[in-house]
Copies of this chain bind each other. A is one copy, B any other.
């Protein structure tokens, strides 16, 4: 497959047919669109904004190539004057956004695009595609870090993520959320995320014996020996590790960890810990994997006697299996200086350019947010900031470690009630401020 992620044709056809009409009507005034989530899904007491870096990259590079334009022309749907206007189309607008890693709630815009209507419209599909997915996964992955505080979490999920880009961006989102590493080599190269890995059952099976497999792997990867011990029988696997350790030590090789991938992980971990400790391998860590998510992590961590040091987390987190999508939208809020909104049943939105203010209580905990119109200055910290002007970024990308710190800080500020893995009975307070209420009623 050729590259798909950077094509401007990665959009819905209606964006182009609408643009053709905007062009015909000379509707090229300034439009304001905002991206937000309408409702929280069950078992999501808060969300974590992510994906802004990729969204800005998309906007900066937005253009249609000549072959793309030729293809559009060949469809016969578009006039030549309109196609010429597409050739020149770049994103020249402004963007305001919450920094990546900001905790947010329904009705709080996390990204605002201010640009000539055709530009702001055409970027909708891919902007939503980018912002939705990383926000979805970051919001899922922080639940894992909350469920397993102090544990090492590693993303193992590439193979069952929904395609290449999902695997890559989910690795990023998990790392932002506090994971320690990813198995995804490309994510390591692209984003500088630490990569980590063990061995597969196929390796053990291909070798003539489990012992041989352990020795070969350790000798070929001396600095990072993690042995998978459940291919045939977990406890026998652990006993073999104990038997082989002195031999490997004599060659200057230290076994760093063993991995369990099947059965009752807590029970196996206890038995394996005993075997390793009795064999003088108290420093060898235990890595567990297999169908893990925040619920299973919570269960394992609560069983305090389950001596697992590190968890490989995969499919259920990288697909956000319990909540595989968010109810997010990118809506027109203002055009040509007038606030806009729709009244569609169950889908009404708050019009106008908005800002979100967050107040902390005396202990530094989040005490409530207010959504209001941009000009209405309120107490607390404004969460949306200018990040792009006239199509150019106002600052370089945030480093991943900066975003990790922001998330960790904000998790520590969350009200206790929101930390539960279940749906909180005390949702966070988000006030729709009076000026916004008034404007809406007035329309």
The answer to whether A24 touches B220 (Cβ under 8 A) is yes
Residue from the list B15, B17, B199 in contact with A17, Cβ < 8 A: B199
Smallest CB gap from A291: residue in B: B327
Whole-angstrom distance between the Cβ of A139 and the nearest chain B Cβ: 14
1/0 per residue, CB under 8 A from B, across A1-33: the answer is: 111111101111111111011111101000101
The answer to whether B21 touches A220 (Cβ under 8 A) is yes
Interface residues of A in 359-415 (CB under 8 A from B): none
The answer to whether B162 touches A342 (Cβ under 8 A) is no
Contacts of A332 in B (CB 8 A): 201-202, 205-206
Contacts of A17 in B (CB 8 A): 197, 199, 217, 220-221, 224
CB of A87 closer than 8 Å to a CB of B: no
Question: How far, in angstroms, from A261 to B205 measured CA to CA in the complex?
Answer: 54
Smallest CB gap from A225: residue in B: B17
Question: How far, in angstroms, from A184 to B4 measured CA to CA in the complex?
Answer: 12
Residue from the list B10, B25, B158, B233 in contact with A11, Cβ < 8 A: B158
Whether A199 contacts B18 in the complex (CB less than 8 A), given A345-B262, A345-B263, comes out as yes
1/0 per residue, CB under 8 A from B, across A124-156: the answer is: 111011101100100000000000000000001
Residue from the list B4, B58, B326, B347 in contact with A168, Cβ < 8 A: B4
Question: How far, in angstroms, from A216 to B345 measured CA to CA in the complex?
Answer: 25
The answer to whether B163 touches A231 (Cβ under 8 A) is no
Count of chain A residues near B, Cβ 8 A: 114
The answer to whether A201 touches B344 (Cβ under 8 A) is yes
Question: How far, in angstroms, from A210 to B85 measured CA to CA in the complex?
Answer: 26
Q: How many copies of this chain?
A: 2
1/0 per residue, CB under 8 A from B, across A51-81: the answer is: 0001001100000000010011001110000
Q: Which of A5, A117, A136, A263 has the most CB of B within 10 A?
A: A5
Whole-angstrom distance between the Cβ of A187 and the nearest chain B Cβ: 9
The answer to whether A202 touches B33 (Cβ under 8 A) is yes
Smallest CB gap from A120: residue in B: B202
Whether A13 contacts B196 in the complex (CB less than 8 A), given A220-B20, A325-B315, comes out as yes
The answer to whether B5 touches A164 (Cβ under 8 A) is yes
Residue from the list B13, B21, B133, B197 in contact with A14, Cβ < 8 A: B197
Question: How far, in angstroms, from A315 to B196 measured CA to CA in the complex?
Answer: 33
1/0 per residue, CB under 8 A from B, across A191-219: the answer is: 00001111111111111000000001101
Contacts of A186 in B (CB 8 A): 4, 7, 9-11
Contacts of A315 in B (CB 8 A): 325
Question: How far, in angstroms, from A326 to B162 measured CA to CA in the complex?
Answer: 11
Contacts of A219 in B (CB 8 A): 21, 24
The answer to whether B159 touches A205 (Cβ under 8 A) is no
Contacts of A203 in B (CB 8 A): 18, 21-22, 121
Whole-angstrom distance between the Cβ of A168 and the nearest chain B Cβ: 5
Whether A14 contacts B199 in the complex (CB less than 8 A), given A3-B5, A160-B328, A344-B263, comes out as yes
The answer to whether A163 touches B160 (Cβ under 8 A) is no
CB of A340 closer than 8 Å to a CB of B: yes
* 21 examples of A-B residue contacts, CB within 8 angstroms: A3-B3, A11-B186, A12-B183, A12-B185, A13-B183, A18-B199, A18-B202, A75-B195, A76-B223, A128-B159, A128-B160, A129-B161, A160-B328, A161-B162, A162-B166, A165-B165, A166-B166, A206-B340, A230-B345, A262-B346, A319-B324
14 additional A-B pairs beyond A14-B183, A202-B340, beta carbons within 8 Å, are: A1-B54, A2-B6, A13-B188, A21-B219, A21-B220, A24-B219, A133-B162, A136-B162, A162-B163, A163-B166, A206-B340, A232-B344, A320-B324, A324-B324
Residues of A bordering B, CB below 8 Å: 1-7, 9-18, 20-25, 27, 31, 33, 54, 57-58, 68, 71-72, 75-77, 117, 121, 124-126, 128-130, 132-133, 136, 156, 158-170, 183-186, 188-190, 195-207, 216-217, 219-221, 223-224, 230-233, 261-263, 315-316, 319-321, 324-326, 328, 331-332, 335, 340-347
